[in-house]
Structure 1
């Protein structure tokens, strides 16, 4: 009898210790916002207890495992989220909804999440067609669009109720074609605007959407490079917004403008989309990490590379104006 009691007692101890081990287990979870960026610091509320956690740059963090209970997760500027570990997807990702901030307008993922391909087409058109889109993230947006090319085309087809099997090449060609058309139309609108009322723009006052020195800078760029400026301008933020307007102001031949316009748009869109798509595949195959996990760094690099010539021009131009003023 005593032996049975000892055995039973040992079994109880083992079971209790087993539950204790399970309670101490941790689960690797990824905590992201809707733009696929790491949430960073957040608070996990489980029952009456709350604890602070910090996710890494990819959003990964170890959380205490309790599949029998729902938990709350909160963070500044985020909506509170309730979830259970058992209800997580296979990749163990938790997506929190981030509140809007004005700086989100500089994040390409904001536009992809909010409107997909439709809003990308509008932005590419607006950069030149509305001459007020110089602050929009054109280059980085197209690069990121190349990474998400299949997703974007899938959403486009679904909006028309179409379900078709396609290869990655078809998706890329469709994406390049549609965005190039939007760019060509935008440049054409800018060109006709320049022909009609462009000269009066040099007498406009500066405001948030219009800066006279940007127009003057584009004029200098056009004088230096001629028709090729329409092609080169596509790769330069700010300059590409005003280059077609300058072409209209100086009365560039319509056929000549159309040629450079189409060539420049296709070259710009093709290079950005294909760079994003295939660089993502190459990096993942060679180094084993996903560019989607490092979009913030990539965007910063693209912005620095594409805006460097413009910034250098602005600085050197400012110095020249000061020297002339002193003289």
Structure 2
């Protein structure tokens, strides 16, 4: 008896407006605030690209959304920098925290101290560094112009690349009738579960005792 794939085709008809709202929100939060450490931003971009591949006007949407996501990343980076700058040379770490701990803040601080511009550019592709980098750069009083150029170039490469990768992968998946809804269903479920787990981990992290970390 042939295996019948579950009918998950409705995921491919999710309204572009919802995709836009989710992508722009996730990208901004991931680049601006600590909660972004716990959100599956890369997965969201890939999934959004695959979803848009199922739309008649998907090509137009994915290119314009790429620009919007890059803009959200740039804005988020600036917010993170300002928050770090206003904190002075002290950032709040978490004792025994999974991500927001003195060890990770020191790693990012050392990375910026050694590589500066290139560290900000490369940080875009490392999930937890992507979120902590703007805060540490601001607290360290990194030259704002240098930071802005590096973070902008990184944003222009990161969000569009993942969205377009998902989109063109989605076009390939559409050639196999059962594969597209199956893959998309797994991704959407994983995204929902990942977000729920991430928010729970964020609350646990922030509930841990705070300690100061002085940025050099």
Deviant stretches of 4+, over 4 Å? 26-32, 202-209, 297-300
Are 2:168 and 1:269 equivalent residues in the alignment? no
Q: Could you tell me how far apart the structure 2 residues matched to 1:266 and 1:203 are?
A: 30
**How many residues are paired up?**
188
Q: Could you tell me how far apart the structure 1 residues matched to 2:116 and 2:30 are?
A: 21
Partner of 2:112: 222
Q: Could you tell me how far apart the structure 2 residues matched to 1:282 and 1:183 are?
A: 28
**1:195 maps to which of 80, 85, 88:** 85
* Bigger RCO (CA 8 Å, 6+ sep): 2
Q: Could you tell me how far apart the structure 1 residues matched to 2:168 and 2:142 are?
A: 37
Cα distance change, pair 128–212 in 1 and its aligned pair in 2 (3 A)? farther
Partner of 1:142: 45
Q: Which has the higher strand share?
A: 1
Are 2:162 and 1:259 equivalent residues in the alignment? no
Cα distance change, pair 201–260 in 1 and its aligned pair in 2 (3 A)? same
Q: Could you tell me how far apart the structure 1 residues matched to 2:78 and 2:48 are?
A: 23
Partner of 2:24: 121
Q: Could you tell me how far apart the structure 2 residues matched to 1:179 and 1:235 are?
A: 15
Cα distance change, pair 186–206 in 1 and its aligned pair in 2 (3 A)? farther
Q: Deviations over 1:198-234 (max 9, x none)?
A: 5221566566884333322222222333211222111
Partner of 1:290: 179
Q: Could you tell me how far apart the structure 2 residues matched to 1:272 and 1:299 are?
A: 19
Partner of 1:235: 125
RMSD between superposed Cα atoms in Å:
3.8
Task: Answer with 1 or 2: which has the greater Rg.
Answer: 1
**1:182 maps to which of 67, 72, 79:** 72
Q: Which has the higher helix share?
A: 2
Q: Deviations over 1:244-303 (max 9, x none)?
A: 112212222222221112111110011101111112223444x66634412548998xxx
State whether residues 51 and 170 of structure 2, in contact with CA within 8 Å, keep that contact through their aligned partners in structure 1. no
Aligned residue for 2:34, secondary structure, equals coil
Are 2:74 and 1:171 equivalent residues in the alignment? no
**2:33 maps to which of 130, 143, 160:** 130
Once the two structures are TM-superposed, the CA of residue 239 in structure 1 deviates from its matched residue by: 0.5
Cα distance change, pair 229–292 in 1 and its aligned pair in 2 (3 A)? farther
Partner of 1:279: 169
Aligned residue for 2:90, secondary structure, equals helix
Q: Could you tell me how far apart the structure 2 residues matched to 1:175 and 1:194 are?
A: 28
Q: Could you tell me how far apart the structure 1 residues matched to 2:104 and 2:143 are?
A: 23
Partner of 1:250: 140
Name stretches of at least 5 consecutive residues in structure 2 with no aligned partner: 191-216
Aligned residue for 1:201, secondary structure, equals strand
State whether residues 52 and 167 of structure 2, in contact with CA within 8 Å, keep that contact through their aligned partners in structure 1. yes
